[in-house]
C-alpha cells in the first residue's frame, strides 16, 4: 500500500481556503472590512514569504469561530463552499485524488488551515482522512484557540505521524509515500516522504524541486 498526502491550498485548490474564508466573512458583513481585509492580506503575504507567525495568525483566524453559534457558522460554510470553493476545484485535481483512492492507497489531506474550514472540502474530494489544524471546542462551541500542534511546517510532520500512530501505522509500513504541495513552507513534510511532488510551486519550492530532481506538475 502507498501513502498519498495532499496539501490543500493552492495545491488541490486553485486558491487559498484560509484567505477566502476571511474574505467571505468580510463580504457577508460578519467581519469589519477595513481592518480585517488588511490583516488578512498581511498574513497571506507573510505566509508566501515564509515568515508567518502561525500562532498570531491562528488568533486572527479562529477568533470569529468563537463569536457565533455552530449552526450559524455551518450555514455560512455552505454558502462559502458554493461561492468560493467549488469554483476553484479543477477537474485535474479531482482526477488526481480519484486515481489514488481508486488504486487503494491510503490518502489524506494535510493542511495548515483549520478543520472547520477544510473538513467539508475534504469530503468534496471524497477523502476520508483530514490532518488539519484543530480549533479548540468546549461544549460544542469554538473557543478561538488552537488544540494541539498547529499543522504547519514541521508541525505537519508531527501531525501526520500522530495520525499514523493512531491507526497503528508508521512510515515504513508503506511501499511508497507521496506528498503533493505548492509551498516551500511544506519542505519538512516534502523531505520526509519518498516521492515529493511540487504542484504549481512557489519560487523557493520550484528552485528546490529542480535542484533535487523532484517531480513538478500543474493541476490546471
Annotated catalytic residues are: 7, 9
Alpha helices, DSSP H, located in 113-185: 115-124, 154-166
Q: Give the separation between CA 191 and CA 138, rounded to whole angstroms.
A: 36
Dist. CA 127–CA 78, nearest whole Å: 18
Secondary structure class of 13 (helix, strand, coil): strand
- CA–CA distance, 197 with 190 (Å, rounded to integer): 8
Instruction: Give counts: helices (H), strands (E), the chain.
Output: 9, 7
Torsion sign, CA atoms 120, 128, 13, 110: positive
The residue with cell 474530494 is 125
Amino acid at each position: 500500500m502507498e501513502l498519498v498526502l495532499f496539501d490543500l491550498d493552492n495545491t488541490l485548490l486553485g486558491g487559498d481556503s484560509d484567505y477566502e474564508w476571511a474574505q467571505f466573512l468580510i463580504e457577508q458583513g460578519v467581519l469589519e472590512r477595513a481592518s480585517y481585509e488588511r490583516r488578512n492580506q498581511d498574513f497571506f503575504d507573510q505566509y508566501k514569504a515564509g515568515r508567518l507567525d502561525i500562532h498570531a495568525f491562528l488568533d486572527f483566524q479562529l477568533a470569529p469561530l468563537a463569536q457565533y453559534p455552530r449552526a450559524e457558522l455551518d450555514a455560512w460554510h455552505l454558502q462559502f463552499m458554493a461561492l468560493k470553493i467549488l469554483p476553484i476545484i479543477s477537474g485535474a485535481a479531482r482526477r488526481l485524488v480519484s486515481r489514488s483512492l481508486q488504486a487503494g492507497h491510503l490518502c489524506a489531506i494535510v493542511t495548515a488551515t483549520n478543520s472547520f474550514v477544510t473538513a467539508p472540502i475534504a469530503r468534496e474530494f471524497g477523502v476520508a482522512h483530514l490532518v488539519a489544524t484543530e480549533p479548540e471546542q468546549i461544549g460544542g462551541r469554538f473557543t478561538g484557540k488552537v488544540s494541539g500542534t498547529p499543522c504547519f511546517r514541521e508541525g505537519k510532520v508531527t501531525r501526520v505521524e500522530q495520525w499514523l500512530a493512531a491507526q497503528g501505522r508508521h512510515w515504513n509500513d508503506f511501499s511508497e509515500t507521496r506528498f503533493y504541495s505548492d509551498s516551500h513552507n511544506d519542505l519538512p513534510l516534502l523531505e520526509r516522504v519518498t516521492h515529493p511532488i511540487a504542484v504549481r510551486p512557489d519560487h523557493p519550492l520550484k528552485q528546490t524541486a529542480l535542484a533535487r530532481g523532484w517531480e513538478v506538475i500543474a493541476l490546471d
